């Protein structure tokens, strides 16, 4: 440094020139990630089962940021549809630099004996099989190319499962394990990490008894509340960008300290 001038620091969170693919990207936490990536310079591919919702968000991205945005209808529980999603992404953009496996489903039930084989298979397909296949395809191409970052989105249920979400919790625990396995499989060019969210107040929370939730949160969540969807952005940008250049195979809990109360 000369004359007291500070050294110029690079923007660690700059995603200019990157392409990000987000499953479950049209709403909730996925929507916030899509918008954050685009605002930081990335072109985005938005995948979910509802094409109209993906198209609406793609239009918002283009209008606000000027970035390219592609909407793709995809059921991530279907092996073939996941393969088609990858083909479409590479066909349109030529690469994927950031993959976020965010799509998921968590149906509850009154008794574990009521869980049907069809429901069990559906939960495992969406939460585990789809991310496995998509990561296998995209991660392989990343490793053969210029590298990239893959982000799994798990749940604190994977570490502290409730009685009414056992198949979901098991699938997310599998996702945690896959994070480490894929990090090893695709090293050193591809980083694979996992966000482990706690209770977030997304559209899903509209079905909750909020009075009961707030009472529990006051004593069981250190920050005393559920997360706002935008509060996932810091973790997503960290893993997607050069800010986490020496981080792989890691699980980051973003839960407000859920389970840490008395």
**What residues act catalytically?**
168
Gap between the Cα atoms of 17 and 11, Å rounded? 14
Backbone angles phi, psi at 152, to 5 degrees: -85, 150
Q: Tokens representing 151? A: 């982000």
Neighbours of 40 (CB within 10 A): 20
Q: Please choose, from the candidates 78, 83, 77, 72, the residue with its C-alpha nearest in 3D space to the C-alpha of residue 21.
A: 72
Give the N- to C-terminal CA distance of the chain in Å, as an integer.
51
Gap between the Cα atoms of 135 and 23, Å rounded? 11
| Pairing, β 190-197 against β 148-153 | parallel
Gap between the Cα atoms of 190 and 222, Å rounded? 34
Cα separations in angstroms, 185 against 51, 110, 142, 179, 207: 33, 39, 12, 10, 39
The full DSSP string for 125-164 is IIIIIHHHHHHHHHHHHHHHTT-EEEEEE--GGGTS--TT
Cα separations in angstroms, 193 against 181, 201, 237, 252, 262: 10, 23, 12, 8, 30
């Amino acid at each position: 440094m000369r004359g007291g001038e500070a050294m110029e620091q690079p923007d660690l969170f700059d995603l200019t020139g990157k392409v990000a693919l987000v499953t479950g990207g049209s709403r909730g936490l996925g929507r916030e990630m899509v918008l954050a990536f685009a605002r930081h310079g990335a072109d985005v591919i938005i995948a979910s089962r509802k094409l109209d919702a993906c198209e609406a968000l793609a239009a918002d991205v283009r209008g606000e940021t000027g970035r390219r945005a592609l909407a793709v209808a995809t059921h991530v529980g279907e092996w073939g549809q996941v393969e088609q999603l990858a083909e479409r992404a590479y066909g349109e953009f030529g690469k994927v630099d950031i993959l976020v496996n965010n799509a998921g489903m968590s149906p509850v039930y009154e008794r574990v004996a009521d869980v049907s084989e069809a429901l069990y298979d559906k939960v495992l397909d969406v939460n585990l099989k789809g991310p496995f296949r998509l990561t296998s395809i995209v991660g392989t191409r990343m490793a053969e190319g210029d590298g990239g970052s893959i982000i799994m989105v798990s749940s604190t249920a994977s570490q502290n499962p409730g009685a009414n979400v056992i198949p979901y919790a098991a699938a997310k625990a599998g996702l945690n394990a896959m994070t480490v396995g894929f990090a090893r499989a695709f090293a050193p060019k591809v980083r694979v990490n996992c966000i482990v969210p706690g209770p977030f107040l997304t559209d899903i929370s509209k079905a909750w008894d909020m009075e009961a939730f707030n009472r529990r949160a006051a004593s069981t969540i250190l920050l005393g509340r559920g997360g706002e969807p935008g509060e996932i952005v810091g973790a997503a940008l960290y893993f997607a960008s050069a800010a986490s250049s020496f981080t792989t195979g890691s699980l980051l809990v973003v839960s407000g300290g859920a389970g840490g109360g008395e």
